[in-house]
Each structure stands twice: as C-alpha cells, then as structure tokens.
Chains A and B, each alone.
Chain A
Amino acid sequence: MNYQFKWSVLWSGQSGVWLLQGLITTVEISALAWVLAAALGILSGALRTVPWKPARALATAYVEFFRNVPLLVWMFFWYFGVPPLLPRAVQDWIFNHGAEFWAGMFALGVYHGARMSEVIRSGIQAIPRTQFEASVAMGLTTFQAYRLVIVPIALRLIVPPATSESLNLLKNSSVALTISVAELTFQTRQIETYTAKAIEALTAGTVIYLVLCVGIAAIMARVERRFAIPGLIARGG
C-alpha cells in the first residue's frame, strides 16, 4: 500500500470554499427542515391525543405514511415526480430557483415531522389526563389547554429524544445530495473527484458533521436544564 496522504488538498484550490458552502447549505436545509418538522410534529403529535376521532385519524395517517416510506424515495418523489405535473412555466421557474433545495428541505421536514410526532405524542401521553381536565375545568378551550399547558409540559419532557431526532435530521440531510443539493456530503464528494484524495475529503466531512452534532447536543442539554420541570428527577448531562 502506498497511499500518499495529502491533507493540504483541503485548503488548497477550491476545497476550502466548497466545504464552507457545503456546511452552510447543510445548516440551512437542516434548520428549515427542522422548523417544519417541529411544527408538523407538534401539530400531529397533539392531534393524535385529542378527544376527536377524525383529527386523530388524520394525524395517524400522516405518521404511518411517512414512517413507512424511505426518505430517499420521498426525495425523488418531490424532485423528479412532482415537477413534471406542473405547468411548463412553473417548472422553469422552480428549476431556476433552487428546486432541489426546496424539494429536499420539504421532504426532510415532512419525513422527520412524522418521526417527531411520535416523540411528542409519547410526551403528551406521559402527562396525567387530569392535567387536561384541570385545564378545561377552569374555562380553557381544548386548544388553549394544549397550547398553554399540555404541549409546554410535553416539550419539556421530550428534550432528550427530540435531540436524537434532530441529530438524525441533520445527518439525513446528506440524502439530499442524491437530488444534487450541494450540501456537505456533496461537496466532500466533489473534492474527492477533483483531488482523488478520498480519505482526506471524507475525514473533513466526518469531522464537520461530528462538530455540528456535538454542538447541537450541548445546546440541547442546556435547554433541557433551563426548562426542566421542578420536582422531576434530574437526568444526567
């Protein structure tokens, strides 16, 4: 074996810029998808517990559908499947405006929203039913009871599993390279192609993902402590 390590490929030529652009794109697509996933997850997770059957059925259908479709297929669906159904002018417009980014972001957010939904539902179901009864007994509507009492408590309970799910989302954003979103993994592949230095390029990518994930986990641990419900058993950090 006579592989010649050449770490300087990472900062010579275009590589540094590509990595930076990849990092930015990864953070952007993940952050937007996370907001979408959190919104869908809270909404559908809460709906799965309300005393109204059609709402529960709708939310369950959403979760079961997306939990059972591979993310990759779902991304292809939005990128390759949907645009041809649109009028020509609309197609041209979206392909000139970063269609792959939006298709990827949407697929990622909707997919992880379904998984987030399960996390939030389990949080809500850990709350004694009497908390809901006490809320509505003082005149809050069901919506207010969820918004002001049930969901805020559930969110505090689920920080650890929600963190894992958020990290999964970040890592799964790499799947968007298959629809040519120029995110971090895409860029490391590009460096590898141009320099033939696979180890160096992939190491750079790995380290960046690692730093991102560890950073997010550290922030979430602080959030957990900051919002901990007094009286609950403290969890390790």
Chain B
Amino acid sequence: MADVAIRFKDVDKWFGKLKVLSDINLAVVAGEVVVVCGPSGSGKSTLIRCVNGLEGIQGGDLIVLGESIVRPGVSMSGLRTRVGMVFQSFNLFPHMTVLQNITLAPVRVRGLGATEAEKTARALLERVRIPDKADHYPANLSGGQQQRVAIARALAMQPKIMLFDEPTSALDPEMINEVLDVMTDLAKDGMTMMVVTHEMGFARRVAHRVVFMDGGRVVEEATPEAFFATARSDRAKEFLSKILSH
C-alpha cells in the first residue's frame, strides 16, 4: 500500500456549540490529488485547515506525514513547514516585494542563506511563469499573478503536501486558468494536494478522487469519472446540476 500522507480518523470539530465536522474518515495517499467540493458552509475550508493545524479538532485523530497532530506537544510550526497552504484571498504581504514574500520563510524558518533563498525564489517564479515580477509589490500584480506568487511562496518551503482553499474563487474568469495550469503542473510533478474548488473541469482532468461534503460530513468519495457520471446522493446531484449549469 502506498504511503498515506493524511489520515482523518473519526474526526469531529466544533465551533463552540456548532458541530462543523462529523465523523470524518478520509485518507490521502502520497502523490494523490483530492478535490473537495460541496455547498457553502459544508465544512470544506475547516476540513483542510485542520490538516495544517489552523483549526484544532475535538474528537478523533488526524495523522499528517506519519505524525498525529493532536498529540500534546506536537510542533505546529514544524508541521506547517511540511504542509503548504494557498488561500482564496492570496494573502501576500503587502509591504514586501514578491521576492521578499517568497524568501521570508525559507530564510527565517529553514535558515537558508539570502543568496540561496533568492535563487530558489527566482526558479519558482519561472515555474509559476512570472519571472519578471520579482521586484514588484503585490499591489502592482493582477489577482492571477498574486495567486501564482502565493503558490510559489508556499512551494519555497519544499512542502510535502499542498492545501488549496478555493484558490480561484476570488479571480476574474480570464485569470482562473493561469492559476489552474500551475496547479496542474504541480499535480503532474507528484505533489500531494487537497484542493477545495468548484472548478469541476480541473477536478475531471487532474483529481484522482473527488470528495463531496455536506453538513460537515463526507457524503461521497469517488473517482472523478464515477462522481460526475453517477453521483448517488441527492445532495450531490443537486450540487452538480447547479455547478455544471453555468
């Protein structure tokens, strides 16, 4: 059996009295791309935010890269150097140039020298196809460019897993593909990815598995072909008809 990168075991999560994740059992194998979809408020963001400890869990166990992250004394910042995250709202640091954004964590957390970090950063900017923007500030980039910088910034830590929380939802339609293309490259290179997205074309082409959530539960889990052809639950059918109709 291939290496399991992420394993949710009976995970429960509450926000105060509100239960937002119920009984989640899910394993993501190394190198696998899992697309998470479902209606708004179904717990998709919360699910992937648990993986890098941005949210804690109240029940069950969550094992990331062989380590339980609910064990007392586990190093969150250590975990997060191995798990990269890309947010819907890009979240580049506005007072730093693109290059500074990308080199910050490698220098401060991994202790890389400035020259080496810069070299890596420039290579990553090539990879996300904006090598000429190194000295720009985020405010002077388009949304699509900012999101690609955010991806480069996460990759600079050489993570084993990448989490994406609706990375294209804040983008104008004409910029969506430039970001999806970068993510597709990343998937082809064998990165383990959990991607919350409504881009069903991406799911069809790139995902190994689609997870459909509703009301804090994983309702369906299937290959993209199976999911799109024969979604079983009514909720998933309804969701798909809405998503695919525009």
Tell me whether A149 and B93 are in contact (CB under 8 A): yes
A231-B137, A231-B139 given; A136·B94 CB < 8 A: no
Write the nearest CB–CB distance from B160 to chain A, whole angstroms: 13
How distant is the Cα of A36 from the Cα of B243 in the complex, in angstroms?
A: 57
Q: Does A20 contact B (CB under 8 A)?
A: no
A231-B137, A231-B138, A231-B139 given; A136·B95 CB < 8 A: no
A residues 3-33 with Cβ under 8 Å of B? none
A residues 54-99 with Cβ under 8 Å of B? none
Tally chain B residues at the interface, Cβ within 8 Å.
29
A144-B108, A148-B104, A230-B140 given; A137·B85 CB < 8 A: yes
Mark the stretch among A116-124, A125-133, A187-195 that contacts chain B.
A125-133
Partner of A140, one of B105, B140, B150: B105
Which A residues touch B108, using CB under 8 A?
140, 144, 148
A130-B89, A138-B84, A138-B157 given; A229·B109 CB < 8 A: no
Q: Does B148 contact A (CB under 8 A)?
A: no
Q: Does B87 contact A (CB under 8 A)?
A: yes
User: Smallest CB-CB separation from B108: which chain A residue?
Assistant: A144
Tell me whether A230 and B94 are in contact (CB under 8 A): yes
Tell me whether A130 and B91 are in contact (CB under 8 A): yes
Tell me whether A128 and B84 are in contact (CB under 8 A): no
Q: Does A206 contact B (CB under 8 A)?
A: no
Question: Which label, helix, strand, loop or mixed, suits the secondary structure of the A interface?
Answer: helix
Q: Does A171 contact B (CB under 8 A)?
A: no
Tell me whether A137 and B95 are in contact (CB under 8 A): no
Tell me whether B93 and A131 are in contact (CB under 8 A): yes
User: Smallest CB-CB separation from B92: which chain A residue?
Assistant: A134
| 27 sampled A-B residue pairs with Cβ under 8 A | A130-B89, A134-B85, A134-B91, A134-B92, A134-B93, A134-B150, A136-B80, A137-B54, A137-B80, A137-B154, A138-B80, A138-B81, A138-B104, A138-B105, A138-B109, A139-B81, A139-B157, A140-B77, A140-B105, A144-B109, A148-B108, A149-B93, A152-B95, A156-B95, A229-B95, A230-B94, A230-B140
Tell me whether A139 and B139 are in contact (CB under 8 A): no
Q: A134-B87, A135-B93 are in contact. List 18 more A-B contacts (CB 8 A).
A: A128-B89, A130-B89, A130-B91, A134-B91, A134-B93, A134-B150, A136-B76, A138-B81, A139-B78, A139-B81, A139-B105, A141-B77, A148-B104, A153-B93, A156-B95, A230-B94, A231-B94, A231-B140
Write the nearest CB–CB distance from B128 to chain A, whole angstroms: 16
How distant is the Cα of A230 from the Cα of B54 in the complex, in angstroms?
A: 28
Q: Does B153 contact A (CB under 8 A)?
A: yes
Write the nearest CB–CB distance from B236 to chain A, whole angstroms: 29
How distant is the Cα of A179 from the Cα of B167 in the complex, in angstroms?
A: 61
Which B residues touch A137, using CB under 8 A?
52, 54, 80, 84-85, 154
A139-B109, A153-B94 given; A133·B81 CB < 8 A: no
A230-B137, A231-B138 given; A138·B154 CB < 8 A: yes
Which B residues touch A134, using CB under 8 A?
85, 87, 91-93, 150
B residues 62-104 with Cβ under 8 Å of A? 76-78, 80-81, 84-85, 87, 89, 91-95, 104
Most chain B Cβ neighbours within 10 Å, of A128, A131, A139: A139
User: Smallest CB-CB separation from A132: which chain B residue?
Assistant: B91
How distant is the Cα of A128 from the Cα of B93 in the complex, in angstroms?
A: 11
Write the nearest CB–CB distance from A51 to chain B, whole angstroms: 11
How distant is the Cα of A134 from the Cα of B105 in the complex, in angstroms?
A: 11
Which B residues touch A139, using CB under 8 A?
77-78, 80-81, 105, 109-110, 157
A139-B80, A231-B137 given; A133·B157 CB < 8 A: no
User: Smallest CB-CB separation from B141: which chain A residue?
Assistant: A231
Write the nearest CB–CB distance from B65 to chain A, whole angstroms: 14
Write the nearest CB–CB distance from A141 to chain B, whole angstroms: 5
